[in-house]
Amino acid sequence: MIETVHFQNFKALRDLTVLLDRFTVLVGPNASGKTSVLEGLAYVHRCRAHPTEPRWPFRGAGDPSALCSRGGPDSFRIRCEGARDQDRLIVSLAVELLGDGPWDPWHWSFEAHHRGEVVRLPQSREPDPSESAVLDAAVPSVAFLRLDAKRLAEPAYSDALVPEIGPDGAGLAAVLAEMLISRAEDFRRVERALAAVVPSVERIRLERAPVRRVEQHRISIDGTSTMSAIEREYVGHRVVFDMRGAPSLPAHAASEGTLVALGLLTAIVSRSGPHLVLIDDLERAVHPKALIDLVDQLRALLDLFPGLQIVATSHSPYLVDLFEPREVRMTMMDERGSTLCARIDEHPEFERWRAFMAPGEIWSMIGEEWVRDRAVGAHG
């Protein structure tokens, strides 16, 4: 489990340490750095997963120059510390720009510590077997989820042995199909958990469905090589729900909340071994009552999978009521535009209020300005 993560010059996280629990929720105003914490954690683990593909970890984000704090050095660093089975773990990522332009080259390096062993990987080098063992022990797999109902509902095909859900939910049907074939008990576990959140769901089924994909192929014409886009059709799967009073309901006709809950539960259960799940806007599209049941199911999965850790963002006081105070982090910007972070129970009056108010009620009353005032007082 990651216990602390420290950011230097990463977006608005200029010099920030965030303490994490097994289930942590980040709350605060828009543009206060909540999602940046999730992004930073995801970049660390992507670089571990793709050490020989320098640009892959930053795909979709543009050049790393966009990730460096404005007005700061042309570099950033993210360092995670934690423990697993009483062994201390340290994982760090350092990224340095090598030019002044927005698309100039960059260099990144990755470092992991486990049981006294240290592995340092520059980009573009494949780890040897002994290094891979250290990296596998120190670095969990990661899923960064910003689920979109339309993508979750799409039919899907995958040629991967064990497919994974994309950050937006793409590939859900392929993941569920693999689970049903290879790990039927996990599939039923997802089905039962979803029914606990959305009681009208009686059954989840998979049906065969055509899936069209545009693929890039390299072709040679008169000795000249070029890329050509070719559309191919594959036989994949689509998700179908048997709902109370509405059997055989295709996924695209289901509610957004049903699809989002299914995507979250599937993303967690489908992964084996230690893994970190990062969820942006955990409460999105979920009814307040169903949100209680969803958090209950996530906590049950945390009990079932000892290597699971969840970090989420939220804007909902109702959601905060479902967390212990030690699990709630509040973010706020200082006068320089740098992100600050504090546990909600670090408010000076928290102990007095907690006797008759829930954490979400306290947050609604105190807001986030106190996080800035606390930082000013600490430096004043």
Closest Cα to residue 165, out of 269, 254, 300, 24? 269
Residue 210: strand pairing partners: 235
Number of domains in the chain: 1
Looking from the CA of 34 toward its CB, the CA atoms found within 13 Å total 25
Instruction: Note the pLDDT tens digit of each residue in 34-84.
Output: 999 999 999 888 777 665 565 666 766 656 778 889 888 888 999 999 987
Q: How many CB atoms lie within 10 A of CB 126?
A: 9
Helix H or strand E segment including 35 = helix 34-49
Q: How confident is the model at residue 5 (pLDDT cuts 50, 70, 90)?
A: very high
pLDDT score for 332: 96
pTM metric for this prediction: 0.91
* Least confident residue range of 4-8, 109-113, 151-155, 356-360: 109-113
Q: Strand runs (DSSP E) across the chain, as ranges? A: 2-10, 13-19, 23-27, 75-84, 87-97, 106-114, 117-122, 141-145, 201-221, 224-243, 246-250, 275-279, 308-314, 328-333, 339-343
* Least confident residue range of 73-82, 166-175, 247-256, 308-317: 73-82
pLDDT score for 225: 77
**Residue 208: inside a domain, yes or no?**
no
- The answer to whether residue 217 scores a pLDDT higher than 80 is no
**Residue 294: inside a domain, yes or no?**
yes
**Residue 217: inside a domain, yes or no?**
no
User: If you average pLDDT over every residue of the chain, what do you get?
Assistant: 89
**Residue 210: inside a domain, yes or no?**
no
C-alpha span between 290 and 173 (Å, rounded): 23
Strand 23-27, strand 328-333: pairing: parallel
Which domain range does residue 370 map to?
2-203+255-379
**Residue 250: inside a domain, yes or no?**
no
For 98, the token pair is 């090598």
What number is the average pLDDT over the span 346-362? 91
Instruction: Note the pLDDT tens digit of each residue in 138-154.
Output: 777 899 999 999 999 99
**Residue 51: inside a domain, yes or no?**
yes
C-alpha span between 272 and 308 (Å, rounded): 9
Q: How confident is the model at residue 125 (pLDDT cuts 50, 70, 90)?
A: low
Instruction: Note the pLDDT tens digit of each residue in 230-262.
Output: 888 999 999 999 999 999 999 999 999 999 999
What number is the average pLDDT over the span 98-118? 72
C-alpha span between 317 and 286 (Å, rounded): 14
Calculate what percentage of the chain has a pLDDT beyond 90: 63
How deeply is 262 buried, as exposed, middle or buried, from its count of CB atoms within 10 A (0-12, 13-18, 19+)?
Answer: buried
**Residue 132: inside a domain, yes or no?**
yes
- Residue 115, helix vs strand vs coil: coil
- Which residue is listed with tokens 């050095």? 73
- CATH number of the domain encompassing residue 296: 3.40.50.300
Order of strands across the sheet that contains 141-145: 141-145, 275-279, 308-314, 23-27, 328-333, 339-343
- Residue 225, helix vs strand vs coil: strand
**Residue 238: inside a domain, yes or no?**
no
